[in-house]
Amino acid sequence: MIQQDTKELEERAIFVMREAKTKFKNVAAMWSMGKDSTTMLALARKAFLGKVPFPVIHIDNGIDFPETYAFREELAKKWKLDLIVAKSEIKPELSGFACCGANKTVALKRVMEEHGIDALIVSIRRDEHGIRAKERYMSPRDKEFKWDYKNQPAEIWDDYSSKLDAKGHIRVHPLLDFNEIDIWQYVKKNKVPVNPLYFSRNGLRFRSLGCTHCTVALKSDAKNVDDIIKELESTETEERSGRSQDKEKMYTMEKLRALGYF
Amino acid sequence: MMISRVTLLGHKDHGKSTLIGSLLISTGSVTQERLNDAKKISQQLGRQFEPAYILDSFSEEREGEMTIDITRAQIKYKEHAFEFIDVPGHEELIKNMMSGASYADFALLLVSAKPDEGIRDQTKRHLFLAKMMGIRRIVIAVNKMDTVDYSEARFKEIRKELVAFLTKIGFQKKNLALVPISAYNAQNLIKLEEKMPWYRGEPLLDEIVSLSTKRRADKKGALRVILQGALEGTDMLSGKVIRGTLSAGEGILLPPRESRYTIKEVVVKGRHRKRATAGENLALTLAEPIDFEPRGQVICGLGDDLKATNRVNAILFATKKLGEGTKIKFNGSEISCSVKVDNIIDITSGDTRQGSEIEPLGAGNVTLDLSKVIVAEPFDKLQEMGRFVIYDNGGFAGIGIITS
């Protein structure tokens, strides 16, 4: 995995977030308390004079890890976040793809409507998945949250041309260029607080965090950020290996994203 | 480490995605897991293993065997790092290709040596666009050499025609390299293939290393800061230093206004600083009040003769016939304009001819009359100050670069 120049990545992320804040009336961000969306908040604090100037949304299905909830409370207080918790319901008969689609996406639609949000910052990265690699920095979603990936808008030089249709919204992707290892480099350099579940306990750690149902820990002795960076330099597995929804069948991610998953 | 970005160029089916896939495999830059996925998908589709599936991730791309939208793939080779930007070759997907190419430092062109493929109009169109977008160096891979029995004559024929075209549209010979390859069979990619003993150059990736370049912000040149807007809830303006260095306490100009302003504070990444340099996003306050919309305004140093104008000459590439409501998007502002075509550029020969309307996927020299003044400079002097995107009521319509 290639470590990039974090300064260049940081400038791009700041530019994209400021551009979103300038162009759209009501920006909000998804915050899963994972390393990526927490890094995004650290970047937002740099872009906007030390504070996060938009609400952050946690889609809470009630089955996240206890450590995740504790981390949410602690950081929301420390960084004075405008936290919106959108409760979603887990239906016991659904799992994997159907579960993510039903509970997360439905809850998000509701909260966006309630708050009149027209642009949503989502901390996806190209190297996570072949489908995410095809994203734009700013990408329109229609009122059903669908991603028209076969007809994405031009995004030439610094011109993000995404237009809002009547009831749609724009997804904003400031971290698109970061690799997994760049996130950890950024966390290290900027002392970004992270969820303790990323660090090894009893020989296991989480590399990518979802809910307790779909996330599997991997074997690892990485006990701190330096260990994680070292581990990632020579990894042969994909970051989301422990996320069952990606693996169920071909093109699951494509379907999820087309349906508005983030 | 610093990564140079390389955009792929070339006609559809000449092997762009296959080449990047092969390079990822040859250099060990793809995880075993993703490689296995691509193998599994080839099997499920009942096809031979196709390296392009590592990049082409949409079901429509794999089933239709074509790239629809851009993607990026990173490769480390001999202490150098490259990000290859894969782009679609289809004419109707040219806005996606332009989106990818606009981020590149240099280019890698694919031309198939197959007798019925070779140099096509779309090959030349991509090269023309690359030149327009500021790319100066091109590595050319003449692909599918296995289908022409590794013929030196075929390679030379393609080389002759391409070099003639490229020099005519303004590329310098020293900034070009040509390598005969087979992307699918990974020949001449990282080691020389014995079936082409007549080839005297280096393998493709070594030629890429030799020609590689990286655009760098110029910290010493005359100051240019493009303002992005006002930071909500504060009294600060946001912007990006495009060239030079801006210092707190410095006197500056905001053309076309004649009065002098003073930079009161400079904040970079949340911290007060003495100065901000090229490439950095900043926030600033002025000592004097302003009574204009900051977005799109340009800061320059005292004594600079940077001017505002409502008429510019430009080269325009249009993806469609320009219709009602033409406007340019320039440094964050949308400005209505009328377009007068001075002449047409034939992008397959580089010649100009008379004409008053640019055909779809064609180019021309134009004069733009704008509904308000802009602060601009020729693209060749400073890219960020001389490039724009063009729209009409029907949406995206092309790009332009300012010549004077």
Cα(A251)–Cα(B226) distance, integer angstroms:
42
**Amino acid occupying residue B189:** L
Cα(A143)–Cα(B203) distance, integer angstroms:
50
Residue closest to A228 by CA, chosen among A250, A190, A196, A260: A196
Tens of pLDDT, residue by residue over B207-247, are 999 999 999 999 999 999 999 999 998 999 999 999 999 99
Residue closest to A39 by CA, chosen among A66, A82, A73, A9: A9
ipTM for the assembly: 0.95
Supply φ then ψ for residue B14, to 5 degrees: -90, -5
Which 3 state secondary structure label does DSSP give B375? strand
Give residue limits of the domains in chain B: 3-211, 224-301, 308-402
Instruction: Extract the residue ranges of chain B whose pLDDT is less than 70.
Output: none
pLDDT of residue A188 exceeding 90: yes
**Amino acid occupying residue B99:** S
**pLDDT value, residue B323:** 86
Q: Residue A66 contacts by C-beta under 8 Å, 6 or more apart in sequence?
A: none
Q: Does B32 touch chain A (CB under 8 A)?
A: yes
Percentage with pLDDT > 70 across chain A: 85
Chain-centroid distance of CA B349 in Å reads 21
**Interface contact B389-A156, CB threshold 8 A:** yes
Query: Which pair of tokens denotes residue A253?
Result: 């991610």
What superfamily would CATH give domain B224-301? Translation factors (2.40.30.10)
**Interface contact A153-B240, CB threshold 8 A:** no
| C-alpha distances in Å from residue B275, one per residue of B265, B281, B283 | 9, 11, 11
Q: Do residues B320 and B394 lie in contact, with contact meaning Cβ atoms separated by under 8 Å?
A: yes
Contacts of A181 in chain B (CB under 8 A): none
In which band, very low, low, confident or very high, does the pLDDT at A101 lie, cut at 50, 70 and 90? low
Contacts of A16 in chain B (CB under 8 A): none
Stretch among A221-230, A240-249, B137-146, B230-239 having the lowest mean pLDDT: A240-249
Q: Does A236 touch chain B (CB under 8 A)?
A: yes
Beta strands in B304-361 (DSSP E): 308-318, 327-330, 333-345, 352-353
Mean pLDDT of A97-107: 74
Residue closest to A15 by CA, chosen among B99, B283, B385, B266: B283
Contacts of B102 in chain A (CB under 8 A): 156-157
pLDDT of residue A158 exceeding 80: yes
| C-alpha distances in Å from residue A256, one per residue of A11, A99, A252, B237, B367 | 30, 11, 6, 39, 47
Q: Do residues B61 and B67 lie in contact, with contact meaning Cβ atoms separated by under 8 Å?
A: yes
Q: Residue B116 contacts by C-beta under 8 Å, 6 or more apart in sequence?
A: none
**Amino acid occupying residue B396:** F
Q: Does A3 touch chain B (CB under 8 A)?
A: yes
**Interface contact A179-B74, CB threshold 8 A:** yes
Q: Does A234 touch chain B (CB under 8 A)?
A: no
**pLDDT value, residue B285:** 97
**Interface contact B70-A134, CB threshold 8 A:** yes
Contacts of B399 in chain A (CB under 8 A): 156
Residue B346: CB atoms within 10 Å: 15
Q: From the list A154, A159, A251, which residue is nearest B59 (CB)?
A: A251
**Amino acid occupying residue B305:** D
Q: How far is A19 from chain B (nearest CA, A)?
A: 7
**pLDDT value, residue B64:** 87
The HSE-up count of residue B283 (CA atoms within 13 Å, CB side) is 20
Q: Do residues B369 and B342 lie in contact, with contact meaning Cβ atoms separated by under 8 Å?
A: no
**pLDDT value, residue A261:** 63
Question: Which residue reads 């679609």 in tokens?
Answer: B88
Q: Residue B46 contacts by C-beta under 8 Å, 6 or more apart in sequence?
A: none
Mutate which: A41, A157, A186, A255, vs B, most B CBs within 10 A: A157
Q: Considering only alpha carbons, which residue of chain A is nearest residue B54?
A: A130
In which band, very low, low, confident or very high, does the pLDDT at A92 lie, cut at 50, 70 and 90? low
Question: Which residues, numbered 365 to 404 in chain B, qualify as contacts with chain A under a Cβ-Cβ cut-off of 8 Å?
Answer: 384, 387, 389, 391, 396, 399
**Interface contact A157-B70, CB threshold 8 A:** no
Question: Which residue reads 């890890």 in tokens?
Answer: A65
Contacts of A156 in chain B (CB under 8 A): 98-99, 102, 389, 399
Q: Looking at the domain that runs over B3-211, which CATH code has it been given?
A: 3.40.50.300
Q: From the list B98, B228, B231, which residue is nearest A154 (CB)?
A: B98
**Amino acid occupying residue B384:** E
Residue B195: CB atoms within 10 Å: 16
**Interface contact A157-B387, CB threshold 8 A:** yes
More confident residue, B143 or A253: B143
**Interface contact B57-A134, CB threshold 8 A:** yes
**Interface contact A133-B34, CB threshold 8 A:** no
**pLDDT value, residue A254:** 67
Question: Does B3-211 match B224-301 in CATH topology?
Answer: no
What's this model's pTM, rounded to 2 decimal places? Answer: 0.94
**pLDDT value, residue A194:** 96
Burial grade of B233 (CB within 10 A; 0-12, 13-18, 19 or more): exposed
The HSE-up count of residue B262 (CA atoms within 13 Å, CB side) is 4
Residue closest to B226 by CA, chosen among B114, B127, B332, B91: B332
Q: Which residues of B62-97 are buried (b: 16+ CB within 10 A; e: fewer)?
A: beeebbbbbbbbbbbbeebbbbbbbbbbbeebbbbb
Residue B351: CB atoms within 10 Å: 11
Q: From the list B44, B60, B228, which residue is nearest A22 (CB)?
A: B228
Which letter does DSSP use for residue B113 in this model? -
Q: How far is B163 from chain A (nearest CA, A)?
A: 28
Q: From the list B58, B102, B267, which residue is nearest A156 (CB)?
A: B102
**pLDDT value, residue B239:** 98
Q: Does A26 touch chain B (CB under 8 A)?
A: no
Alpha-helix residue ranges (DSSP H) falling in B169-320: 204-211
Chain-centroid distance of CA B375 in Å reads 23
Q: Which residues of A94-114 are buried (b: 16+ CB within 10 A; e: fewer)?
A: eebbebbbbbbbbbbbebbee
**Interface contact A154-B229, CB threshold 8 A:** no
Domains of chain A plus CATH, in order, are: 6-179+248-258 (3.40.50.620), 196-247 (no CATH)
Cα(B190)–Cα(B188) distance, integer angstroms:
6
**Interface contact A254-B57, CB threshold 8 A:** yes
**pLDDT value, residue A245:** 57
Residue B260: CB atoms within 10 Å: 11
Residue closest to B145 by CA, chosen among B126, B159, B160: B159
Size of interface A-B (CB pairs under 8 A): 129
Q: From the list A2, A10, A129, which residue is nearest B3 (CB)?
A: A2
Q: How far is A2 from chain B (nearest CA, A)?
A: 7
Cα(A11)–Cα(A14) distance, integer angstroms:
5
pLDDT of residue A250 exceeding 60: no
**pLDDT value, residue A248:** 46
Q: Does B295 touch chain A (CB under 8 A)?
A: yes
Which letter does DSSP use for residue A153 in this model? P
Q: Does B228 touch chain A (CB under 8 A)?
A: yes
Q: Residue A70 contacts by C-beta under 8 Å, 6 or more apart in sequence?
A: none
Residue A178: CB atoms within 10 Å: 28
Q: Does A47 touch chain B (CB under 8 A)?
A: yes
Contacts of B391 in chain A (CB under 8 A): 161
Question: Which CATH class for the B308-402 domain?
Answer: mainly beta
Q: Considering only alpha carbons, which residue of chain A is nearest residue B77?
A: A2
Contacts of A4 in chain B (CB under 8 A): 1, 3, 81
Average pLDDT, chain B: 95
Q: Do residues A97 and A254 lie in contact, with contact meaning Cβ atoms separated by under 8 Å?
A: no
Question: Which residue reads 């990518």 in tokens?
Answer: A208
Q: How far is A49 from chain B (nearest CA, A)?
A: 4
Helix (H) / strand (E) element for B108: namely strand B106-112
Q: Considering only alpha carbons, which residue of chain A is nearest residue B332?
A: A159
